[in-house]
């Protein structure tokens, strides 16, 4: 036992002496600077580039068998044909290694890793050649496999005391896409690092992007508690805090501020990324939820996300985007959603999808297919209500409001209505259902809109709804495969309460009755003016048991007769309207002008036939009506119209839509009656020879004209 203890003591002393000898001998006997040229030569042979090490290489071993390796300035030359002198350069690199764990247990223990002033210049020319592709080719050399076989056996563990990276920058000049990207002032602080033990991580960097004459500047800072599971190839980030800012043209001068937090884990073996308790903030907008991303090639994703209600109006202002002035002051002030995402890099299904849009709530699903190539969309939504009038634009200078709903005409009338380029690239199928839809003042219920878009053709088939006691059915198509798109619209209204419809759209009580209407129109163009001026088709309508309250036929006829007689215009109730039991008309539309030849209307008081034009381009109407008063019209003259029984009264309606004028040609009618009466009187009073009878003399007896007038008007 004594001998054993003796030899152990001798061994211990020898080991100490060996360590002391190593500490003294290694720096004295091994000078790493002697190998600079051979190292540079190996790099030159391997890559064809020059490695420059102008500074001194420090190497020392401490009493604890810590190897300190210090490297001063270092630079690697650029590939031929590129302007920058160096591909990469570093101001200082320093590493401290513990030898004993590496010798005894193959565990790499890095006490300190310091890297300062690293700068990398990446460059791709117009011809596609880059200054890094030769380095990648060098890594794929034939002896690569042999090098792998000769590689040092895997380490059993990793320990790092502290990592400090500072002043790291990477510049990318990409001439192919006209883009310059710079990563600036990157700094990383982490450690002490031990497999399976959490440690603090701090990361920060700036990004500067120049493209197509515009510059964007970003700053990103991240802090987290990070855990490395080296053997399992897993990384866990807990209590991750992210702050980022972005400045670019069109944004406010101070830029935009982003914030994020959550927990995340990356499993490289399973190719799995999970994020929990995620919160991302942009101004007052927020995204919350969790996600799971599996298979980093296929990108299989599962996520449950929510966007709490926020003011899109305020966010737009923060982004420097000026929204138009809507009729509703609180429009776009409460927008939010919650949804689940399932799919992969080729197809995503967002279902269920719940959207809050101001006063409206939508539920449904969205499918995106062909992501990254030609995308297609499938949408199914069911909403409780949507009030489009809230989002009608307020009139600006030079514009006028023509409807209660705020529809604007004037300055913006000729603007593009059909986005040709958008339609040509759109592959879309949609099914929208609304319990209530309000637009132009009118309210539709039980609305169903189904549409498809593909290869530049948009079809809406059908659009159907319940409308004021009746139904609306529309089929429409836009063919945008040419620069002058073609439109086709077929619409029919059945049993619609006309009075309620007009009241809702105009706020005026001007019509009543039950309306049936069929319209089939084709046109071309991209602007409203073009579409209206090239519209062609047919129109037919039928209205029963109604009134046209602005059409004052009886009042106009009485007034015209009174003026002709020289009497005071009779006073009648202002609400007296023109009623009819049935009104029908058909028309042909040519270049935005409707020509009607067969208008017919009838009531107890009159029968009306008419013809005329409705010019939608000039917004002008011109109609000629032939009115025949009924034989049984108040023979006691209570209406003041008895004398017109069985007589056709010419009646004209003309003028711009906003200021229609009405007139009755009573004077022409009465002149015709006088002429007939005179001819009758003359036939009985004048002999064939021309002699007068019944005492008609020059002296002052009443003339035949006076007699005729008295006979006509009963005087």
Structure confidence by residue, pLDDT tens digits, 287-322: 999 999 999 888 999 999 999 999 999 988 877 788
Tell me the H-state helices in 334-479.
420-424
State the Cα–Cα distance between residues 588 and 570, nearest whole angstrom. Answer: 40
Predicted local confidence at residue 266, as pLDDT: 95
In 117-232, the DSSP E strands lie at 119-124, 157-174, 179-190, 193-194, 199-211, 214-229
Residue pLDDT, tens place only, 229-284: 988 899 999 999 999 998 888 777 778 889 999 999 999 999 999 999 999 999 88
CA–centroid distance for 667 within its chain: 61
From 160-169, 305-314, 688-697, the region with the lowest mean pLDDT: 688-697
**579 shares a domain with 638:** yes
Report which DSSP code applies to 197.
B
Predicted local confidence at residue 83, as pLDDT: 85
State the Cα–Cα distance between residues 401 and 397, nearest whole angstrom. Answer: 11
Residue pLDDT, tens place only, 365-378: 999 998 766 789 99
Task: Identify the band that residue 606 occupies on the pLDDT scale cut at 50, 70 and 90.
Answer: confident
**607 shares a domain with 690:** no
**578 shares a domain with 685:** no
Asked if residue 546 belongs to a domain, the reply is yes
Asked if residue 515 belongs to a domain, the reply is no
Q: Are 99 and 23 in contact (CB under 8 A)?
A: no
**577 shares a domain with 684:** no
**659 shares a domain with 542:** yes
Range of the domain at 605: 538-664
Predicted local confidence at residue 548, as pLDDT: 78
State the Cα–Cα distance between residues 41 and 601, nearest whole angstrom. Answer: 105
What is the rounded average pLDDT of the residues 381-388?
A: 96
Task: Identify the band that residue 35 occupies on the pLDDT scale cut at 50, 70 and 90.
Answer: low
**655 shares a domain with 562:** yes
**Which residues, other chains included, contact 526 with Cβ-Cβ below 8 Å and sequence gap of 6+?**
416, 417, 418, 420, 484, 485
Reading the block at residue 207, the tokens are 């990004």
Query: By three-state DSSP, how is residue 678 classified?
Result: helix
**686 shares a domain with 639:** no
Predicted local confidence at residue 541, as pLDDT: 95
Asked if residue 627 belongs to a domain, the reply is yes
Asked if residue 649 belongs to a domain, the reply is yes
**609 shares a domain with 547:** yes
Q: What percent of the chain is modeled with pLDDT above 70?
A: 73
Asked if residue 258 belongs to a domain, the reply is no
In the chain, how many domains are there?
A: 2
Q: Is the pLDDT of residue 686 over 70?
A: no
State the Cα–Cα distance between residues 337 and 208, nearest whole angstrom. Answer: 33
If you search the block for the tokens 């996520």, which residue do you land on?
303
**Which residues, other chains included, contact 639 with Cβ-Cβ below 8 Å and sequence gap of 6+?**
554, 605, 633
**634 shares a domain with 556:** yes
Q: Is the pLDDT of residue 524 over 60?
A: yes
Asked if residue 604 belongs to a domain, the reply is yes
Predicted local confidence at residue 709, as pLDDT: 36
Q: End of a domain among 664, 686, 704?
A: 664
**624 shares a domain with 556:** yes
Predicted local confidence at residue 658, as pLDDT: 83
Residue 484 or residue 135, greater confidence: 484
Q: How far is CA 142 from CA 49, 146, 147, 213, 282, in A?
A: 19, 8, 10, 44, 51
Predicted local confidence at residue 632, as pLDDT: 46
**657 shares a domain with 681:** no
Task: Identify the band that residue 363 occupies on the pLDDT scale cut at 50, 70 and 90.
Answer: very high
State the Cα–Cα distance between residues 14 and 221, nearest whole angstrom. Answer: 52
Predicted local confidence at residue 431, as pLDDT: 97
Asked if residue 504 belongs to a domain, the reply is no
| CB neighbours of residue 77 within 10 Å | 20
Residue pLDDT, tens place only, 183-198: 999 999 998 888 899 9
From 431-445, 532-546, 552-566, the region with the lowest mean pLDDT: 552-566
Predicted local confidence at residue 516, as pLDDT: 96
State the Cα–Cα distance between residues 596 and 579, nearest whole angstrom. Answer: 20
What is the rounded average pLDDT of the residues 24-50?
A: 70
Predicted local confidence at residue 103, as pLDDT: 63
What is the rounded average pLDDT of the residues 434-439?
A: 95
Predicted local confidence at residue 710, as pLDDT: 38
Return the ∠ at Cα 166 (arms to 161 and 168), rounded to 5°.
125
Task: Count the alpha carbons within 13 Å of 417 in the hemisphere toward its beta carbon.
Answer: 17
Asked if residue 610 belongs to a domain, the reply is yes
Predicted local confidence at residue 27, as pLDDT: 53
Predicted local confidence at residue 102, as pLDDT: 62
Predicted local confidence at residue 18, as pLDDT: 47
Predicted local confidence at residue 651, as pLDDT: 82
Residue pLDDT, tens place only, 438-479: 998 899 999 999 999 998 999 999 999 999 999 999 999 999
Query: By three-state DSSP, how is residue 707 classified?
Result: helix
Residue pLDDT, tens place only, 131-149: 988 887 655 555 554 544 4
Q: Are 111 and 100 in contact (CB under 8 A)?
A: no
**678 shares a domain with 660:** no
Predicted local confidence at residue 107, as pLDDT: 63
Does an H or E element contain 76, and which? strand 74-77
Predicted local confidence at residue 167, as pLDDT: 94
Residue pLDDT, tens place only, 331-360: 999 999 999 999 998 899 999 999 999 999
Residue pLDDT, tens place only, 72-81: 788 889 988 8
């Amino acid at each position: 036992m004594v001998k054993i203890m003796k030899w152990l003591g001798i061994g211990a002393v020898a080991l100490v002496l060996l360590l002391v000898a190593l500490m003294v001998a290694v720096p004295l006997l091994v000078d790493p600077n002697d190998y600079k040229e051979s190292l540079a030569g190996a790099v030159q042979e391997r890559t064809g580039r020059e490695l420059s090490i102008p500074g001194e290489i420090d190497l020392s071993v401490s009493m604890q068998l810590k190897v300190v390796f210090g490297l001063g300035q270092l630079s690697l030359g650029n590939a031929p044909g590129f302007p920058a002198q160096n591909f990469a350069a570093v101001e200082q690199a320093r590493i401290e290694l513990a030898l004993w764990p590496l010798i005894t247990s193959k565990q790499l223990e890095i006490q300190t890793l310091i890297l300062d002033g690293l700068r990398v210049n990446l460059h791709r020319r117009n011809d596609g050649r880059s200054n890094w592709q030769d380095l990648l080719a060098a890594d794929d050399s034939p002896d690569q496999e042999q090098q792998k076989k000769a590689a040092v056996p895997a380490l059993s563990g990793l320990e790092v005391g502290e990592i400090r990276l500072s002043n790291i920058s990477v510049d990318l000049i990409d001439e192919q896409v006209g883009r310059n990207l710079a990563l600036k002032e990157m700094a990383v602080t982490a450690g002490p690092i031990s497999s399976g033990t959490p440690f603090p991580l701090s990361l920060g960097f700036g990004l500067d992007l120049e493209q197509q004459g515009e510059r964007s500047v970003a700053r990103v800072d991240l802090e987290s508690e990070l855990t490395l599971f080296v053997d399992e190839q897993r990384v866990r980030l807990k209590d991750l805090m992210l702050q980022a800012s972005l400045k670019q043209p069109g944004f406010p001068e101070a830029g935009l501020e982003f914030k994020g937090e959550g927990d995340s884990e990356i499993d490289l073996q399973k190719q799995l990324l999970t994020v929990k308790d995620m919160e991302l903030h942009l101004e007052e907008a927020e995204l919350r939820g969790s996600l799971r991303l599996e298979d980093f090639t296929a990108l299989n994703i599962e996520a449950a996300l929510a966007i709490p209600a926020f003011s899109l109006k305020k966010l737009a202002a923060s982004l420097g985007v000026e929204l138009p002035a809507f009729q509703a002051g609180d429009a776009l002030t409460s927008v939010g959603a919650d949804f689940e995402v399932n799919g992969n890099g080729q197809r995503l299904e967002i279902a269920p999808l719940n959207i809050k849009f101001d006063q409206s709530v939508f539920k449904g699903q969205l499918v995106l297919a062909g992501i990254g190539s030609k995308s297609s969309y499938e949408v199914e939504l069911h909403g409780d209500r949507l009030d489009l009038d809230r989002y009608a634009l307020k009139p600006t200078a030079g514009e006028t409001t023509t409807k209660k709903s705020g529809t604007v005409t004037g300055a913006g009338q000729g603007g593009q209505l059909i986005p040709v380029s958008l339609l040509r690239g759109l592959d879309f199928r949609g099914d929208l259902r609304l319990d209530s839809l309000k637009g132009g003042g009118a309210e539709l219920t039980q609305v169903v809109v189904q549409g498809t878009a593909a290869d530049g053709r948009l079809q809406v088939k059908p659009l159907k709804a319940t409308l004021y006691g009746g139904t609306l059915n529309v089929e429409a198509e836009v063919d945008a495969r040419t620069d002058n798109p073609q439109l086709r619209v077929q619409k029919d209204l059945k049993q619609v309460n006309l009075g309620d419809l007009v009241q809702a759209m105009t706020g005026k009580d001007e019509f009543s009755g039950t309306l049936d209407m069929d319209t089939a129109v084709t046109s071309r163009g991209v602007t409203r003016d073009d579409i209206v001026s090239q519209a062609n088709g047919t129109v037919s309508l039928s209205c029963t048991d109604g009134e046209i309250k602005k059409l004052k036929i009886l009042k106009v006829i009485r007034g015209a007769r009174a003026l002709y007689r020289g009497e005071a215009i009779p006073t009648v109730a202002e609400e007296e309207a023109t009623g009819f039991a049935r009104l029908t008309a058909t028309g042909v539309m040519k270049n935005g002008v409707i020509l009607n030849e067969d208008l017919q209307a009838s009531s107890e008081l009159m029968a009306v036939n008419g013809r005329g034009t409705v010019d939608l381009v000039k917004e002008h109407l011109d109609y000629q009506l032939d009115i025949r008063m009924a034989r049984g019209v108040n023979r006691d003259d209570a209406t003041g119209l008895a004398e017109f029984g069985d007589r056709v009264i010419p009646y004209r309606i003309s003028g711009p839509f906003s200021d229609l004028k009405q007139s009755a040609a009573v004077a022409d009618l009465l002149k015709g009656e006088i002429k007939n009466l005179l001819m009758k009187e003359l036939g009985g009073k004048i002999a064939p020879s021309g002699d007068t009878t019944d005492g008609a003399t020059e002296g002052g007896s009443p003339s035949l004209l006076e007699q005729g007038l008295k006979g006509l008007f009963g005087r």
